[in-house]
A and B are shown apart, each in its own frame.
Chain A
Amino acid sequence: MTNLLSNFCLASAAPGAATLSPILLGPSEAQLILALPIIGLLFCTLCAIFRVKSKAPAFFTVACLAGAFALVVRLYLNKTGTPVITSGFEWFFLEWGDGKGQRLVANFSLYLDSLTILWMLFVTGLATLIALYASEYMAGDLGTGYCRFFAAFNLFVFSMSCLVMGDNLLLLFLGWEGVGLCSYLLIGYFYKKPSAVEAAKKAFIMNRIGDLGLLMGIGLTFVHFGSIEYRDIFHAAQPYIEAAKAGKYNEIPFLVQLIPVLLAIGAFGKSAQIPLYVWLPDAMEGPTPVSALIHAATMVTAGVYLVARMYPLFLLSEYALPLVAWVGALTALLAATIGMAQFDIKRIMAYSTVSQLGYMFAGLGGLSSTGAAFHVVTHAFFKALLFLACGAIMHGFAGQLDLRKLSGIRRLKGWGIVSFGMLVGCLNLSGFPFTSGFFSKDMLIGSEFLTPGMAPIGWILLFTAGLTAYYTFRVFFRVIVGPLHYEPGDELHSAHDEHGHGGENHNEHAHVQDDHQHHDHGHGGHFHPHAPGWAINTVLLTLSVLSLSASALNFLHLPNQPHIEGGIVPELVMESSAAYESPYARHEAHEGTGDGGHEGPDAHGTPSYVPTAIALDDPHAHAGTFLGWNPHAVMFYVSGAVGFIGIFVAFVLHYVGRTTAATAKADALLPMLGPIPGWAQHKWYVDEFYKYSIYWPLIILANLCNLFDKLIIDGIVRLFGAIPRWIGNTIRPTQSGELHGYAAGMAAGVAVLLFIVFILTLR
């Protein structure tokens, strides 16, 4: 178990660590990272079986996840630049020959490179924190769903770990669907609520659509590369990479170019991109910690992870990366416009998640895997923070999430940390200068402008950045600051009941609420929002600090490594399969800053499969510019300005002169925009579009099939079954019971038979 460390040391000690293939090891303590959540899961299951009513499952979970986090940190500290594969037990092993590609292997083996470690760091870290948060948040469900929640939580971390750490696509797929299951279970946590059940179902099915793409991609990968293990894939892809380097895409088979597209479809499903994004906003039906962890920080970035992990393959296609980039950019824009028009703060956050995921994809597509990964990390922190803050509000105000019914809650006692966390999160999300979100977003947008042909995407992203700042601070200015005003949500009467309600309960509460709206502050008398407790506050504070300090990542650098702009996260990425140094970035680096500090990473231990530079063979590649300037240099100012503008607009429209919670100046401006705000509020009717263009036709088809089955297929069968009966009934009259009839029948029969036989056979 512990020989991992020594092996790492060994590897790093070896001269010229640029080994061609990863180091293979037996089971290692990395496997324990998978085991810990399973232990947590078993414990929670036992608690459920013995109906434990304490918070034991939560704390046990926190302990397990913290242990996992510690192990990941240990891995990080001991990592070398070389990927390590630690083999676990066998899962799939099929063999039909000795040759290449005649063996299907997918084991519980882990592929540990810096990308994995990067992802695992924030996955386990955030999971630990959010589990702690949830221990308090879910306390209302003690004895009912508490164990179930944490069991699913543990299962999620396990699945996510499989997804990230697996050394083959199938194990990734296991994690991929596993997180989908947990997402399903946790979205549907309040299973008595039809909307939650519906949302859970939607999430699972939408994901399945993407999964099919992924599955086909896996199949195609195997067929063309003869393996689904990363190391073999990368190895086998080498000839194609050479071809791609030389720009000879026509030498790469069309189907190989299709692989990344198929994988991307899977990624779009999981990461809620057009056209499969509609499940994510609905997924907010789940408990907030779930939204924070699964639907903001970790699971939804699985798509980004997949693209990053398979980045070498994405480079093989002329179309894959532009596709990814355009889908990302359009998603970012679309989600932002929808987010601007929503009133439910959790939904706003959800749309902002979709939007930010779009950024990441655009980044990946714009040849900035580093920027995308950086944004994943920063986004994980600040979005988790935002969600948890929203969750604290929701928790305290009995499920109230409507920004028209909440205002100025910073004035309430005990809500300081929440307000602070909210502010930090909003600043990050808006890309306020020198926050971590600012750096990562800049990197993304900058590289779009650098890469030729991607400039429109850069403009879209820039514009979206402004929108993001606006809708983010719209929430902040309306909910956190301004005059104090609040109405409790619909969980008031059932605060000590279970969280779920039947549909009728809902109506009942809505009715009560209507009644109360006639008196201003009607609830002031009975309703006291309860401020978050220590666990929530601790977590919020921690995350705030982390989000703020994450900007430091931009300036930290790995020891013994060439420094790359963007700091430690890009450096980690550059050590992994996602390493891709944009030729344009290099161009810029040489000419713009003159910083020769980093040479091509392949000189420094990056495995040779990394197609580091198509550009190395293509010195004449033109880097794009931002209106003639160096994009990276200028983007600091431009995006900062855009962010400011967005915040300012929000300030004017939603803070200045606002006296009530329900309305702000913005409302007066809305009619000027015509029907557009309405459309945006209805999410551009995409759900309806899907409903009428896909769901209903399918339902009709299904009904037709059902009818067809009953009438035609079964009908034919019954017809065949009826034939004997029909013949019988037809000839039954011959059995008239009359002697003469019988005699006539016999005579005629004899005559006919003789006649037939003679005609047919005797000339």
Chain B
Amino acid sequence: MIGRLAFLWPEIALFAATCVVMVMGLSRSFSVRKASAWVCGIGLIVAAFLAATTTPGAPGAPAPDAAHGQLILPWMVPFAKSMICLVALLLLPLLAGTVDRAEEARIASSRAGFNPLRSNRAEFYSFFLFSITGLLLVASADNLIWLFLALELTSLPTYIMVAISSSRHRSQEAAVKYFFLGAMGAAIFLYGFALLYGAYGTTNMNAIAALMRGGTLSTLAMAGLMLSLLGLCFKIAAVPMHFYTADVYQGASAGVAAMLAFVPKTAGFLAILLMVGMVGWNYGPSGASLPDSLRLLLWVIAALTMTVGNVLAILQSSAKRTLAYSSIAHSGYMLVGVIAGPGDGSFTQNGISAVLFYLLAYGVTNVGTFAALACVERPSADGSEPRELDSFDDLRGLCRTHPAAGWMMVICSLSLLGLPPLLGFFGKLPLFTSGVAAGEIPLVIVLGLNSAIAAFYYLRLMAYPLLEEPGVRSGELVANPFLARRLAGILSAGGVISLAVFANAIMKQTTVAGKYPAAAVASTKAEPSLTAAEQR
């Protein structure tokens, strides 16, 4: 049994950490409470380590087999899990001080005692870890049920995190929208899963993949796939499920927004890769693309997503909303990699590797932009919660008034823009190469043009802190007392620069991770019931 669980060591480690955090967060001792975040961090480090060493497919670990999760993209799992843990590690300091700040201040000044009922710390960090755990589970999901549960595990905690991320109405509003629309999205992909099950009589994804490749795709299966993908579009904030994005990001605190831009998106992309991977990129005239209908669907979604995200982003006056829309656009970019597929398996042609690399690049870069917003705040007059930066006006002259925050914004937005030689460029380049290699040149052109549209608002994000004079109200801005946030931003900005130089190591990893064993799945033994169904 332990052997069967071996590939879940990272999740187990995280779960253990979650339990500890839940308890520690309710401690009466401030230092113990405070240490809960550290435990989180340690849990993530351990999970990352375990993911990199024990996950099947990782170097030194056993090769992936049907007993240890999906075989659709088995090599992706160790990379995805360690990458997720590392980005989560980067997100963690950004979340510092999101909840309980006023409360802790009151306790510190002895105006109030610790009241577990009023403290959100334990929930907050444990939800964070839960969400990450769910995300890790998505990566190795080999069953639609598992996938569904993992996705829900990823999402549900985030609803709460949004709601408690600040005490203002906005975050509640954001939570409402996020939760209700999320439920709707979940229902859609759930229905899609149901149809898939209906079509193949099994929820085992390896088996479905084998069946899909064994015969033609029935309309029912195709409908199921499409519904699933469309439902998953909610997770990655792609058209047509993108509506909530800006409102939720704006309503949530910057740290939580950063998390939303990474965690559900990664979950969505991993799930989409698995779903699409079941079908395989063996169709089309060249025998190396998705089936027409699927390709068309993803093509339209990709093109619309990047366009809608970008054109809406350029209209915004709120930096956070801009970043939210840009996050939509980035999903569109990444879909190009999904469409491109594994190509011949080399990094240049492998869209899966490109997506994985991009997820990492986007995750790292994204932290920096939100960190810039989270590092500085405007104290409110009435003693209520200070407001994080939101509008572009707040960003004016940030490089002069708060250099660290300003520069992380500058560097990270340029990276998001895809300006060489920053990490974002090397994220986008494989998308270009794999797209071109897959013959999706029009889509690559759309991608290029969209990058250009995006330049408009990224330039603003870069120019306001760097080039504008501090505004009249800039003097009111004070640095956020939680240095960890700044650390997160600095790490992110540093990563954006240094990872560009040493990107090759990651690229090698993603090359491996993106391996798509077209033949491996076919040999998987189908479940007996499946055989029975077939015999009918």
Contacts and interface: CB of A to CB of B under 8 A. Distances in A.
A724 B308 CA distance: 9
B315 A732 contact: yes
B308 A762 contact: no
Interface string B293-331: 100110011000001101110110000000000000000
B300 to A, nearest CB: 6
Interface in B246-272: 246-247
List 9 tightest A-B contacts by C-beta distance, closest first: A749-B240, A728-B311, A761-B293, A742-B243, A724-B311, A727-B311, A761-B292, A728-B315, A724-B453
Given A750-B230, A754-B226, A724 B310 contact: yes
Interface stretch (A33-41, A242-250, A285-293, A733-741): A733-741
28 contacts: A724-B311, A724-B453, A724-B456, A725-B311, A725-B314, A727-B311, A728-B311, A728-B315, A729-B315, A731-B308, A731-B311, A731-B312, A732-B315, A735-B246, A739-B181, A742-B244, A746-B234, A746-B240, A749-B230, A749-B239, A749-B240, A753-B240, A753-B300, A754-B227, A757-B293, A760-B293, A761-B293, A762-B219
Interface in B428-471: 453, 456
Interface string A703-728: 00000000000000000000011011
Contacts of A756: 296, 300
B185 interface: yes
A26 interface: no
A743 interface: yes
A727 B307 contact: yes
Interface string A497-520: 000000000000000000000000
A727 B310 CA distance: 10
A728 B243 contact: no
A734 to B, nearest CB: 7
A747 B184 CA distance: 9
A745 B307 CA distance: 17
Interface of B: 176-177, 180-181, 184-185, 188, 219, 222-223, 226-227, 230, 234, 239-241, 243-244, 246-247, 292-293, 296-297, 300-301, 307-308, 310-312, 314-315, 453, 456
A89 interface: no
A758 interface: yes
Nearest to A751: B240
Interface of A: 724-725, 727-729, 731-732, 734-735, 737, 739, 741-743, 745-750, 752-754, 756-758, 760-762
A735 B313 CA distance: 12
Contacts of B456: 724
Given A732-B315, A746-B181, 12 more contacts: A724-B314, A728-B312, A729-B315, A743-B180, A745-B240, A746-B234, A750-B230, A754-B223, A756-B296, A756-B300, A757-B300, A762-B219
Contacts of A753: 226, 230, 240, 297, 300-301
Contacts of A724: 310-311, 314, 453, 456
A743 B183 CA distance: 11
Nearest to B295: A761
A757 B314 CA distance: 30
Contact of B188 (A728, A737, A748, A750): A750
Contact of B184 (A727, A735, A743, A748): A743
A743 B247 CA distance: 14
B243 A735 contact: yes
B230 A754 contact: yes
Contacts of B230: 749-750, 753-754
B142 to A, nearest CB: 27
B314 A739 contact: no
Nearest to B453: A724
A571 to B, nearest CB: 74
Given A760-B296, A761-B293, A739 B312 contact: no
A743 B241 contact: no
A72 B311 CA distance: 77
A748 B219 CA distance: 21
A737 B247 contact: yes
Contacts of B239: 749
Contacts of A754: 223, 226-227, 230
Nearest to B185: A746
A761 B299 CA distance: 13
Nearest to A760: B296
Contacts of B219: 762
Nearest to A740: B180
A741 B240 CA distance: 12
Contacts of B301: 753
A745 B226 contact: no
B176 A739 contact: yes
Given A728-B315, A756-B300, A761-B293, A748 B240 contact: yes
B322 to A, nearest CB: 12
Nearest to B231: A750
Scoring A737, A742, A746 by chain B CB atoms within 10 A of each residue's CB, the highest score goes to A746
Contacts of B247: 735, 737
Contacts of A760: 293, 296
A750 B240 contact: yes
A423 B293 CA distance: 102
Contacts of A761: 292-293, 296
Scoring B176, B240, B246, B308 by chain A CB atoms within 10 A of each residue's CB, the highest score goes to B240
Contacts of A749: 230, 239-241
Nearest to B239: A749
Contacts of A745: 240, 243
Contacts of A742: 177, 181, 243-244
B314 A728 contact: yes
A760 B291 CA distance: 13
A725 B312 CA distance: 8
A737 B76 CA distance: 38
Given A753-B230, A753-B240, A746 B310 contact: no
B249 to A, nearest CB: 12
Contacts of A729: 315
A746 B247 CA distance: 15
Given A724-B314, A753-B230, A761-B296, A739 B177 contact: yes
Contacts of B180: 739, 743
Contacts of B223: 754
A568 B535 CA distance: 120
Nearest to A756: B300
Contacts of B293: 757-758, 760-762
A743 B307 CA distance: 20
Contacts of A728: 311-312, 314-315
A757 B315 contact: no
B241 A746 contact: yes
A717 to B, nearest CB: 13
A752 to B, nearest CB: 8
B99 to A, nearest CB: 25
Contact of A757 (B184, B246, B296): B296
A745 B292 CA distance: 25
Contacts of B311: 724-725, 727-728, 731
B367 to A, nearest CB: 25
A758 B456 CA distance: 36
Contacts of B222: 762
A737 to B, nearest CB: 6
B179 to A, nearest CB: 10
A201 B25 CA distance: 86
B455 to A, nearest CB: 11
A761 B222 CA distance: 11
A734 B242 CA distance: 11
Given A731-B311, A757-B296, A746 B184 contact: yes
Nearest to A728: B311
